[in-house]
Amino acid sequence: MRLYNTRTHQVDDFKPLTGNEVRMYSCGPTVYNHAHIGNLSSYIYADILRRTLKSNGYQVKHIMNFTDVDDKTIRDSHQKYPNEDPMTALAKFTKHYEKVFLDEMVQVGNNIDDITFVKATDNIADIQKLVCELLNQGVAYVADDGVYFDISKYRQTRVYGQLSHIDFDATDHQRINNDEYDKEHAHDFAIWKQQKDGEPAWDFALPDGTKMPGRPGWHIECSVMSVKNLGQPFDIHTGGIDLIFPHHENEIAQSTAGNQPAEYANFFVHNEHLLVDGVKMSKSAHNFYTLPDLIGRGFDPLDFRMLVIQSHYRSATNFSWSGLEAAKNRRHRWCSIAELRHQVSDNPSDEQTDKVNEYIELATEAMSSDLDTPSALKYFDQAFDLIAPGQTDLTALDSLLSAVDQLLGLNLITSTPDISVDDYRLIDQRQIARQDKDWATSDELRDELRAKGIIIHDGTTPTWSRH
């Protein structure tokens, strides 16, 4: 299997560092609102990566975090629950959006049962332990509003900028309290933030015994939760390209400073952005859509999944409604063919089986070649082209549907259940009406079925589709 590694700037052969298990960490959402569909695209690609690793015979241990304490969750939880104490407000508020996120992950076809979710607020003691270690080793210092990572000390033994390949000016350091900051400068960043008025806080004693109640910085939570669950170094770290600097650069620094191992993660796999009118979709630019926006316009979340995987994860994709419509049409064609398994008789064909298996193999190879989803989709298109009402080898169709669902998570099988006995009765009645040339009854029955979302395709033996 081959994968692009941001660390090496090239597509490399991928193998787990030890044994057959791939240890993988994905930066998860900050749970203060609905994720926007750009965020969801990032998690769809991570899901596709995990599926591809599994199709290559690897076991995958996949960890994803919830950032459930930061400036935004604190601000909005207070707004939502002004009369609760800050800690209760934060817990209630973030719990709600964790659930919203998990629901949306499932709706877009991501298999959350294959992911272990961890939360910053469940890992405070371990975060504090790393803060103390960094202080003890002299790569962090105490300031009046928190504890900061000392980049110049780090640079005495390691390279800062090894992931982002930015050649920072060694003298150009300022201290910064924000988690997200400009991309041109190295800043000493907060690993522990002292409590401000009205903020939730955890007790914390610095190594010299001084009390500093507060909360973790953003970067340190990922360092701690990844290494705690996966060991160090682990195999793959994922996220969008906006996380390369400062977030992932800072994770590396925190986890490799002092006497810690020199390597943090072997592969960094970053997805390009979903754009709107050529600009990154983001909450701060107010140019974002959420999954409920798409559903409100009549789209299925899996139409969005199709749109995302039609692009390679390393190409920026411009989101448009017409693009989504095209993705929907492609998915509907596949679903209509999937529905044939309920209604046509088996037409065994070795040729069809062989060709379908060939296309499945080509699609699997494309996925293993740096997750080439656009090519995989084209091979699957060609396999679906082979299947039609009068010429359906049911075993070939079953293999095709299983392969598409396993590799791409499009849920073709569960999206296309059989229609009911009553619906079949209506189809038979309509067929009789047609034979009797009773066009009025035939039209009425067709409309009745259409009202139930079932479309009849006339032929010697009529077939139906729901999509």
- Contact residues toward ligand AMP (CB under 6 A) are 27, 29-30, 38-39, 41-42, 239-240, 242-243, 271, 273-274, 280-282
- CA dihedral defined by 339, 340, 342, 344, rounded to 10 degrees? 170
List, in order, residues 6 or more apart from 30 with CB less than 8 Å away.
67, 68, 70, 72, 73
Report the largest interatomic distance among the alpha carbons of the chain, rounded to a whole angstrom: 94
Using CB distances below 5 to 8 A depending on partner kind, what does residue 34 bind out of ligand AMP, Zn ion, none? Answer: none
Using CB distances below 5 to 8 A depending on partner kind, what does residue 222 bind out of Zn ion, ligand AMP, none? Answer: Zn ion
Q: How far is the CB of 263 from Zn ion (least distance, A)?
A: 17
Q: Which of 403, 397, 451 is closest to 423 using CA atoms?
A: 451
Strands 21-26 and 234-240: parallel
| CA dist., res. 369 & res. 396, Å (int) | 25
The footprint of Zn ion (CB under 5 A) covers 27, 222
Give 69 or 426: the residue with its C-beta nearer to ligand AMP.
Answer: 69
Using CB distances below 5 to 8 A depending on partner kind, what does residue 294 bind out of Zn ion, ligand AMP, none? Answer: none
> What's the gap between Cα 331 and its chain centre?
19
Cis before 16? omega within 30: no
| CA dist., res. 426 & res. 429, Å (int) | 5
CB atoms closer than 10 angstroms to residue 398: 14
Q: How far is the CB of 271 from ligand AMP (least distance, A)?
A: 6
Q: Classify residue 22 by burial, with Cβ atoms within 10 Å: 0-12, 13-18, 19+.
A: buried
Q: Which of 248, 220, 261 is closest to 129 using CA atoms?
A: 220
| CA dist., res. 160 & res. 263, Å (int) | 13
Using CB distances below 5 to 8 A depending on partner kind, what does residue 273 bind out of Zn ion, ligand AMP, none? Answer: ligand AMP
Q: How far is the CB of 229 from Zn ion (least distance, A)?
A: 13
Give 16 or 29: the residue with its C-beta nearer to Zn ion.
Answer: 29
Give 22 or 44: the residue with its C-beta nearer to ligand AMP.
Answer: 44
| CA dist., res. 227 & res. 218, Å (int) | 15
Give 30 or 77: the residue with its C-beta nearer to ligand AMP.
Answer: 30
Q: Which residue is nearest to ligand AMP (CB)?
A: 240
Q: Which two tokens stand for residue 221?
A: 């939570």
Report how far apart, in Å, the C-alpha atoms of 404 and of each of 61, 243, 268, 364 are: 22, 30, 26, 10
Using CB distances below 5 to 8 A depending on partner kind, what does residue 373 bind out of Zn ion, ligand AMP, none? Answer: none
Q: How far is the CB of 63 from Zn ion (least distance, A)?
A: 11
Using CB distances below 5 to 8 A depending on partner kind, what does residue 42 bind out of Zn ion, ligand AMP, none? Answer: ligand AMP
Give 43 or 379: the residue with its C-beta nearer to ligand AMP.
Answer: 43
Q: How far is the CB of 37 from ligand AMP (least distance, A)?
A: 8
Q: How far is the CB of 26 from ligand AMP (least distance, A)?
A: 7
Q: How far is the CB of 83 from ligand AMP (least distance, A)?
A: 28
Using CB distances below 5 to 8 A depending on partner kind, what does residue 223 bind out of Zn ion, ligand AMP, none? Answer: none
Q: Classify residue 426 by burial, with Cβ atoms within 10 Å: 0-12, 13-18, 19+.
A: buried
- CA dihedral defined by 52, 55, 61, 66, rounded to 10 degrees? 40
Using CB distances below 5 to 8 A depending on partner kind, what does residue 274 bind out of Zn ion, ligand AMP, none? Answer: ligand AMP
Give 45 or 160: the residue with its C-beta nearer to ligand AMP.
Answer: 45
Give 299 or 359: the residue with its C-beta nearer to ligand AMP.
Answer: 299
Using CB distances below 5 to 8 A depending on partner kind, what does residue 301 bind out of Zn ion, ligand AMP, none? Answer: none
Q: Classify residue 424 by burial, with Cβ atoms within 10 Å: 0-12, 13-18, 19+.
A: middle
Q: How far is the CB of 215 from ligand AMP (least distance, A)?
A: 17
- Identify the three-state secondary structure at position 149: strand
Q: How far is the CB of 71 from Zn ion (least distance, A)?
A: 15
Using CB distances below 5 to 8 A depending on partner kind, what does residue 51 bind out of Zn ion, ligand AMP, none? Answer: none
Give 255 or 368: the residue with its C-beta nearer to Zn ion.
Answer: 255
Give 233 or 239: the residue with its C-beta nearer to ligand AMP.
Answer: 239
Q: How far is the CB of 251 from Zn ion (least distance, A)?
A: 6
Give 219 or 331: the residue with its C-beta nearer to ligand AMP.
Answer: 219
List, in order, residues 6 or more apart from 244 with CB less than 8 Å away.
6, 163, 164, 268, 270
Q: Where are the beta strands (DSSP E) in 67-120?
A: 115-119
